[in-house]
Amino acid sequence: MKPLVALVGRPNVGKSTLFNRLVGQRLAVEDSIPGTTRDRLVAEAEWAGVVFDVVDTGGIDPTEVHKGEGRQPLSVGSADFIAQIRAQAEIAIQEADAILFLVDVESGPTPADHEVAQILRRYQQERNGHLHPPVILVVNKCDSLTRAADAYPFYELGMGQPYPVSAKHGTGTGDMLDALIAAFDVRPEETEEDDSVKIAIVGKPNAGKSTLLNRLVGEERAIVSPIPGTTRDAVDTRIEFQGLPVTLIDTAGIRRRGKITPGVEKYSVLRAHRAIQRADVVLLVVDATTGITAQDTHIAGFILQAWKSAVLIINKWDAIPKDTYTMNTYLQQIRQQLNFMDYVPALFISAKTGQRVNQVLPLALRVQEERLVRLSTSRINKLLRDAQDRHPAPSKAGRHLKIYYGTQVRSDPPTFLLYVNDPKLVHFTYQRYLENRFREQYPFLGTPIRLVFKPRRKE
């Protein structure tokens, strides 16, 4: 799983500017008004070949505003959201593998900076002789050598060596990123290798994920409530099933972006996304009483983007009036709405009554086995020849795609490298056609297939 780096600091120290610098895009809003960033923003960054996620947070405003006292918050633009912004930032600190603590060289160390440093120390724990999460102190707005020399007073924050940078111009960010990558290396490793099959339970709020977890483990291990959004964290539960170690990961419900309220729920979504990254198989739990919604489709997209195997769990089936054709009709509708994941098996259950819950883990483990299947090179190339004879690739600007040979380069997920005359000639529809031919040879139940096209170099 990719490391997660949180940008933390008081308002208006340049966190959003540094975020945009690191990810290479103007994703975060930059404004001179303190408190512009209210919600978390996550994007991928890369340095020295190391890929990591960066999360931008709102400024931590230490000022307590009481009526009649006349004190003004630092977050002028978000005065009504100080508590929510602080809650989001503190959860990001807990989730982070490393932290970039930003301060402003123009103002020098302020009481607000000292309070943020105090918050960071409160969440740090000593592991294997190192503090976790590691904190890199970043002194921003050092646009000249004189300004860079003004970074030394920030030693008084007790956060180690200050790194002078200019987020706006990029000055000094290389040394800062080198220190960040080095900090990843001191993250504590597992004392024992975790060889369990990891199964994440994801879905919208109130779809019945925690009730399903309790049924699977046979005891009340997660809080069950009719109020949507009760589960905030991704919770690991270790069990043994048919002699195999299994880790069940219960997650907070994922709502569509416009429906996510300020505060802790923002980072519940972040945790659910990370749970998907950690999983081998994902159980996508859908509420049968509401059917497949746009948000269910979005979550399915997250699973596909992470190249994870999946099982579709249609929960609350006991609440649906039925006749002989109900299940088949419902399944046809699901296949139409999730047509980009038609290889995923569906199971109709009731976590409340226990109906078919005993089939969930056997099906998930079967899907995990399919994820590890390897096809022989001879079988792959016969498949490719037959596929091209049956349906040649359409021409593009008078040129035809030619597939010379292919091989499976990895499993988990199954990945096939196909050597062709020109990868630019591969149309999406033909790629999907080839994927279907692969599934005719072997179904890879519940598992995505990666086809990588590479030009064959001439000798």
The more confident residue out of 312 and 60 is 312
Q: Locate 89 and state its tokens.
A: 């930032």
Architecture (CATH level 2) of domain 4-184: 3-Layer(aba) Sandwich (3.40)
* Of the ranges 45-54, 141-150, 152-161, the best mean pLDDT one: 152-161
**pLDDT value of position 458:** 53
User: pLDDT tier at 396 (50, 70, 90 boundaries)?
Assistant: confident
Domain(s) of CATH 3.40.50.300: residues in the chain: 4-184, 197-371
Question: Average pLDDT of 356-365?
Answer: 95
Question: Average pLDDT of 344-359?
Answer: 94
**pLDDT value of position 323:** 84
Residue 70, pLDDT above cutoff 70? no
- Name every residue whose Cβ is closer than 8 Å to that of residue 253 and which is 6 or more positions away in sequence: 203, 204, 205, 206, 207, 209, 228, 229, 231, 268, 272
Q: Pairing state of beta strands 130-132 and 125-127?
A: antiparallel
**pLDDT value of position 220:** 53
Residue 224, pLDDT above cutoff 60? no
Residue 415, pLDDT above cutoff 50? yes
Q: 396 φ, ψ to 5°?
A: -135, 115
Residue 298, pLDDT above cutoff 90? no
Q: Which CATH number fits domain 377-455: 3.40.630.30, 3.30.300.20, 3.20.20.80, 3.50.50.60?
A: 3.30.300.20
The more confident residue out of 125 and 203 is 203
Residue 69, pLDDT above cutoff 60? no
Question: Average pLDDT of 229-237?
Answer: 56
Domain(s) of CATH 3.30.300.20: residues in the chain: 377-455
Query: For tokens 């998907």, what's the residue?
Result: 276
* Of the ranges 85-89, 124-128, 446-450, the best mean pLDDT one: 446-450
Residue 204, pLDDT above cutoff 90? no
pTM (2 decimals)?
0.64
**pLDDT value of position 193:** 62
Residue 50, pLDDT above cutoff 80? yes
Question: Average pLDDT of 312-318?
Answer: 95
Mean pLDDT of the chain: 80
Question: Average pLDDT of 131-152?
Answer: 90
Burial of 368 (0-12, 13-18, 19+ CB in 10 A): buried
**pLDDT value of position 125:** 79
Question: Average pLDDT of 389-410?
Answer: 89
User: pLDDT tier at 103 (50, 70, 90 boundaries)?
Assistant: very high
Give the rounded percent of residues in the chain with a pLDDT score beyond 90: 39
**pLDDT value of position 270:** 61
Question: Average pLDDT of 305-309?
Answer: 91
CATH class of the structural domain 197-371: alpha beta
